[in-house]
Every structure is written in C-alpha cells, then in structure tokens.
Amino acid sequence: MCPRIKDKSVQAVLQAVDIVDVVSGYTSLRKRGATYTGLCPFHQEKTPSFTVSADKGLYYCFGCGEGGDAVRFLERMENLSFSEVIEQLAERYGVPLEYEEGKGADAAGRDREARILLLLEKAATFYERYLWETSNGKAAQEYLRKRGLKEEVCRAFRLGYAPDEWRGLQRRATKEGFSDRELEDAGLVVRQSGHVYDRFRGRLMFPLVDHRGRVVGFGGRTLKDENPKYLNSPEGPLYQKGHLLYGLYQARKAIADADEVIVVEGYTDVLALAQSGTPNVVASMGTALTEAQLALMTRFTKNITFMFDADRAGTDAALRSGDLARNQSLRPMVALLPKGMDPAEVAVAGGRSAVEQVLRDKRSLLRFELEHTLDHSELSTPEGRVQAFERVRQILDRVSSLKEREEEIPVVADRLRLAPESVALLLRGRPERRRPVSPVGINKPPVPARGESALSQRLLSQATAVERDFLVAAVCHPERAAVLLQTLTPEHFADPSNREVFLGVKEAFAVLKSGAKDARAEAMAQLRAQATGDSEAGRLFVRLVLEADRGRYRAAVLEELHLRVQEQYLNRAIRGLRRSLEQGDESVETQQRLFHLERLLQAVRSSLLQLDPEEGLAED
C-alpha cells in the first residue's frame, strides 16, 4: 500500500510551490499586470488565452476552460496521481514530507528508497559522462554511429557507457559516500566470495526511467561477442520489468498529442523512431506486454499500435499483447514491417517517410489475426477451408463490435472462396454477444425531449453562456452581486455546473451583507477554496477567482445579465406550464401560475428595454 502523505505536509508543499515556475516549464509566459499570459499547453491556439495568477496560485484557459492549481496542472500534463505530484513538488522545492503512521513503508524504508534513487541517478550521470567525455567511450560512440543514432537523441535518452573495469563505478560511488550494501540494493554491483564488483562492465548503458522521470534501473548492451547480449538490473522494489515502458517518460506528451502510442521491442527501436520524427514510441521491455504496462498506456491514450519485428517472435508477441490490450478496452492496431527488418532499420534507412508509410498501412488487430490464421491454413482443399472457417469463427467471436466483424467478411470470403453473403449467413448462426446494460441514467447521453430540435440545443448552449457570464460579472462587483443573488434560486440556472457554482458564490458573498472590513477578502477566500479544477464546476470557480481582479464587466452588464438569467428561467417555466395544459392539465393552480409568470416576464422584458445600450457594453 502506498503511504498516505499527511495533510500538513501537503499544505506545506502547496505553500512552497511557485505556479509560474511550474507552468513555465511547459509554455512561455509573459507578465501582464498582476497575471501572466501565454499559449495554452492543453489545446492548440495562436492567440494566448491562458492566464496564470502567481498570488492566487491558479491557472485558467479562457479558450478551452481548463483550470486549477499547480497540482492539477501537473496531474494533467504529466498524467500523475495526486500523491506522485506532491512528492515530485516536495523534492523540487525542498519540502520534507511526513506520512501517516501505519500506512505504507516506514520512514526508514522511505529514506533508504530515496538513497537508492539518488545513487541510480548519480550512476546514470556517471555513465553518461564516461560515454561522451572519455577516450574509452569512443568505441561505444562508434557503435552508435554505425547504428545510425545521432548524439542528440542519445543524450535525450541519457545513454552512457560503463567502464570496462571490475570496480570503476564502485570506486566512484564509495568516494561519494555510498556503501557497498546500497550499491547492491541498487543492482549496480554483484557480491561474490565476500567481494563486490561492478555488474555492468564495458557495456552501452540505457537508463530505465519510470513515468515520473526517476532512474530505477539499467539495461546494458555488450559491444563484444559475449552473452548475454543485453544485461538488465535485477528486479526489486524499484525496478520491475513488467511495470515499466522504456521511453514512456520522454514520449508521454507526444503520445497524448497524437492520441496514439507505438510499441516496439527494443531500446534502439525507440531511439531510431524518435530520431526520425516519430516520438510517440515506447518499448515493451520484452516481447510481450503485461497488464501493468497496458494500464500505464491508458493514462495517455486508448490507441495502441504494435510495431514488432517482422519475424515469428514478433508476430506471436503482437497476437498475445493485442488480445490483452483488447481486454483492457484499448484499440489495438498492427503495423507490418518489411520482411527481415526491425523498426530501427526502417527508421534509419528510410527516415520519417518510411516510418509513416508503415504506419499508413497498419491494420486492425482483428484483420491481423484473420490474415495470420488464413496464411497458416490449408486452403487448397474443402476440408482445409472448413477447418480454417472454424478458426476464423472463433476469432470473430471474441470481438464484441458487430461493425468490426462485418468489415472483415469480404476478406474472409475472398480467402475461403465463398460468397460474402454465405460467410455472413454462417457467422449469423451463433448467438450475438450481449453488451452489459448500464443502470438507468448512468453513462448515457441526455435524450432530447419530444420535438426538441438542433435549434433548441443551441439555445440551451446560449442560455448556459448567459448564466456563466452573469456569474463572472458577479465576482467583478461582489457587493452589488450579493444583493442580486438573493433574488435568484438554483432553478434559474439550467446548467448543473452553473447551478453548483451559483450556490457557492451565493454562500460566499453572504458575508458581504455584514459590512465588515475584511468581508470581501473572506468572500474571495471562500471562492478560492472551491477552485479545484477537478470538475466542470471546479474549473468555473477557478475562472471566477481569476476574473475577480480583471473587472472585465461593468456594473451595468451585471444588471443586464441578472435580467437575462431571469428571462431565460421564466421562458423555460412558461413553456413547461403550457405543455402541461396541452396535455390536459386544467387545474386552477397551473393556470394561475402561468398567468403570474407571464406577468413577471413582461416586467423583466420592460426593464431590459429601459437599459442604456451604451452602459451595457462589456469591456474587452
């Protein structure tokens, strides 16, 4: 179980964080008054609509609506959990963390883990410098050149070289205060007959980095004619091969941007594809993926493309991994390489265009499975074709998508020398797979009411915008808004998120009626407490907090929007009452309420007509 960080430590981290410093690592910011602006890192835009407030510790994009604090920002950008972000920020800003007693590793265990991580990081730096700054590293550099890998990509993935000595790393680590026991725990040395010596000697070193950017182990490739060709760190609490994807840390943003991850087999495949302009690539640390590795991918995308070597082992790995991916609701595809070539060879020989051609020709896992089965079946005899059809039927039965199955019928029919109609008829003989039915109201899109058109959907969107504009105008003029909010109810807001925010603002601004000196500061503090960014309402609270100082709306705009919100509500209520009357509700109460609301609507519209159009203009 992961240790729970104490609340006071979380608060200490949040107080130490400089949100401008954090965000600046992802987009360029320019100071503009009391805030900073820049291009939004969450969506493509040409005109900056992204705002960061240093004193409030919040960010908000007025283009896409994404907002929150520094923790939310890193959760979204790095696909990390809350505790992972807190630990990362604590290390960055030098804040010691305390954990709840009895939960997770004890303090001594955490200190030991921190020492091992520091040792592995220093080892990676040592190997890097030995590769690029010593004469002994020239042989490894020459090997990389022959493989077509340039220095830039090698440095990006922190490649290194281990001295061809028995205790090259051990001597350096001892000088820096690390014990042989710590070196052993890190998997960097081997103990034999009471003596220790370096595990990696004369090998090209590939640091194995987790999704948080921490070095947790190494893969070492020999440059000689010796076995094993690749030697990995021993498995332990930090390094578990089945829980890592090589290159994920470097590729995470590219994967999210492309909404696709390309999976290859080897380290050099990752480097070669990244160098050729295909950065959304990771290696499986073996020939078959695990459920833990697939779970890591789902943080970034649901689309996975296998680009394994064009040999039997690669084909078998694609079939096994693809079936596992399908079971985890991923969308697996297979990219076929030229016979006898691996991804690195394609990328180095043909560059980006060759890789793009391979990706253009990719096919669904289902098509790949069917073709592989038919290619290895005896189709020259009727008996062989019958057996092949049974294997095809079993494959199609594992696929829940009727559309995907039907798309493959012409392929199967052609190979089995049958009419497509006959194949469809034979496949239809089995019972359909039933999808689980969601409980009523769960995970279903809203169903329009009878007669509701696309126009009415647009009007609903416009109504939502008016409601939000009113809430924004309210924080620009809190004292006046405190009075106006008392005249409204949650029913005045059609949008659920707007309704939630209305209640929060109304409650926060209630303190303004006291007239106390610090009432406004207290009201804004209550708003900031709700600005989490974890929901649609939370992001709107973030926007309101940042809008409070901008004064974008004049007081006259607040008055007008207050009337517009009432007008929209009255129109909705009147339509509902008229439908009731049309459906046979002739009660006196319904008729009286309809009459009353229509009179109110006339009064609201009369007030709108009396507004000065010049006063009602919003400022930019």
DSSP codes joined into one string, 484-497: HHTT--GGG--SHH
CA distance 585 to 591: 9
Does residue 117 have a pLDDT over 70?
Answer: yes
Q: Name the band, by pLDDT with cuts 50, 70 and 90, for residue 129.
A: very high
Tokens of 133: 């700054």
Where is mean pLDDT largest: 108-117, 428-437, 554-563?
554-563
Residue 620 reports pLDDT greater than 70: no
Helices (H), 361-419: 365-375, 382-397, 402-407, 409-416
**pLDDT score recorded for residue 433:** 43
Q: Which residue has the higher pLDDT, 532 or 64?
A: 64
Q: What is the pLDDT of residue 614?
A: 57
Q: Are residues 114 and 172 in the same domain?
A: yes
Share of the chain above pLDDT 90, in %: 40
pLDDT of amino acid 450: 37
Q: Are residues 485 and 596 in the same domain?
A: yes
The CA–CA distances, whole Å, from 75 to 72, 251, 563 equal 5, 16, 39
What's the rounded mean pLDDT across residues 38-59? 89
CA distances from 5 to 69, 86, 105 (A): 18, 9, 11
The 10s digit of each residue's pLDDT in 253-298 is 888 888 899 999 999 999 999 999 999 999 987 667 888 898 888 8
Whether residue 544 lies inside any domain: the answer is yes
Residue 447 domain-assigned?
A: no
Higher pLDDT, 194 or 602: 602
Q: Does a structural domain hold residue 2? A: no
- Which residue type does 283 have? A
The per-residue pLDDT for 211 is: 85
Instruction: Answer yes or no: do 353 and 375 share one domain.
Output: no
CATH number of the domain residue 171 falls in:
3.90.980.10
Q: What is the CA radius of gyration of the chain?
A: 31
Q: Which residues pair with 52 in a beta bridge?
A: 36, 59
Report whether pLDDT(212) > 90. Answer: no
530, pLDDT greater than 50: yes
pLDDT grade, residue 438 (50/70/90)?
very low
Residue 445 lies in a domain: no
CA pair distance 509, 485, nearest whole angstrom? 9
Residue 244: how many other CB atoms lie within 10 Å? 24
Among candidate residues 325, 337, 231, 244, the one with its CA nearest the CA of residue 284: 244
From residue 611, how far is each of 53, 92, 471, 616 by CA, in Å?
34, 54, 20, 7
With respect to residue 283, please indicate whether it lies within any of the assigned structural domains: yes
The predicted model scores a pTM of: 0.67
Joined tokens for residue 379: 């189709």
* Other residues' Cβ atoms within 10 Å of the Cβ of residue 181: 12
29-32 sheet: strands from edge to edge: 29-32, 35-38, 50-53, 58-61, 67-68
Collapsing DSSP to helix, strand or coil, 161 comes out as strand
| Residue range 375-387: mean pLDDT, rounded | 86
Element housing 160 (H / E):
strand 160-161
Give domain status of residue 142, yes or no.
yes
Q: Round to whole Å and give the CA distance between 242 and 291.
A: 8
Q: Are residues 302 and 318 both part of a single domain?
A: yes
Nearest to 279 by CA among 294, 298, 260, 295: 260
For the beta sheet containing 230-232, the strands, ordered from the edge strand earlier in sequence to the opposite edge, are 160-161, 203-209, 215-222, 230-232
**Domains of the chain: total:** 5
Q: What does DSSP say about strands 67-68 and 58-61: parallel, antiparallel, or unpaired?
A: antiparallel
pLDDT at 34 over 60: yes
pLDDT of res. 307: 95
CATH number at residue 254: 3.40.1360.10
Calculate mean pLDDT across residues 24-38: 87
Query: Is 83 part of a structural domain of the chain?
Result: yes
**Residues 247, 230: one domain?**
no
Quote the tokens at residue 591: 């008729």
- The whole-angstrom separation of Cα 451 and Cα 232 is 65
- Please report, for the chain, how many H helices and E strands are present, in that order: 26, 16
Residue 473, pLDDT above cutoff 80: yes
List of residues 6+ apart from 285 with CB closer than 8 A: 208, 241, 242, 244, 245, 246, 293
437 pLDDT band (50/70/90 cuts)? very low
Q: Are residues 382 and 480 in the same domain?
A: no
Per-residue pLDDT at 19:
93
Range of the domain at 594: 454-609
With 60 as the cut, is the pLDDT of residue 76 above it?
yes
Q: If you average pLDDT over residues 62-88, what whole number do you get?
A: 88
pLDDT of 204 above 70: yes
Neighbour tally for 159: CB within 10 Å: 26
248 with 338, same domain: the answer is yes
Q: What mean pLDDT comes out for the span 163-189?
A: 95
CATH number of the domain that residue 486 is part of: 1.10.860
Same domain for 598 and 507, yes or no, is yes
Residue 509 lies in a domain: yes
- Domain identity same for 135 and 209: yes
- End position of a domain, from candidates 239, 262, 295: 239
Residue 3 pLDDT level (bands cut at 50, 70, 90): low
pLDDT recorded at residue 251: 92
Question: In the predicted model, is pLDDT for residue 210 greater than 60?
Answer: yes
Last residue of a domain, one of 61, 93, 125: 93
Q: pLDDT, tens digit, for every residue of 486-527?
A: 999 999 998 898 999 999 999 988 888 777 778 888 888 888
Judged by phi (left if over 0) then psi (alpha if -120 to 50, else beta), residue 140 lies in alpha
Average pLDDT of span 448-456: 42
Q: Is pLDDT at 150 greater than 90 in this prediction?
A: yes
Name the most confidently modeled range: 270-274, 385-389, 405-409.
270-274
Q: In terms of pLDDT, which residue wins out, 172 or 299?
A: 172
List b or e across 199-219, with b for residues whose CB sees 16 or more CB atoms inside 10 angstroms.
bbbbbbbbbbbbbeebbbbbb
Confidence band for 428, pLDDT divided at 50, 70 and 90: low
Residues 461, 574, single domain; the answer is: yes
547 with 596, same domain: the answer is yes
What pLDDT, on a 0 to 100 scale, did the predictor assign at position 463? 80
Per-chain mean pLDDT for the chain: 85
Per-residue pLDDT tens over the stretch 299-352: 888 899 999 988 888 888 889 998 888 888 889 999 999 988 999 999 999 999
Q: Which long-range contacts (CB under 8 A, 24 or more apart) does 187-191 make?
A: 187/217, 187/218, 187/233, 187/234, 187/236, 187/239, 188/119, 188/120, 188/123, 188/218, 188/233
pLDDT band of 107, cuts 50, 70, 90: low
Q: Is the pLDDT of residue 410 over 50?
A: yes
Same domain, 45 and 191: no
Last residue of a domain, one of 93, 124, 141: 93
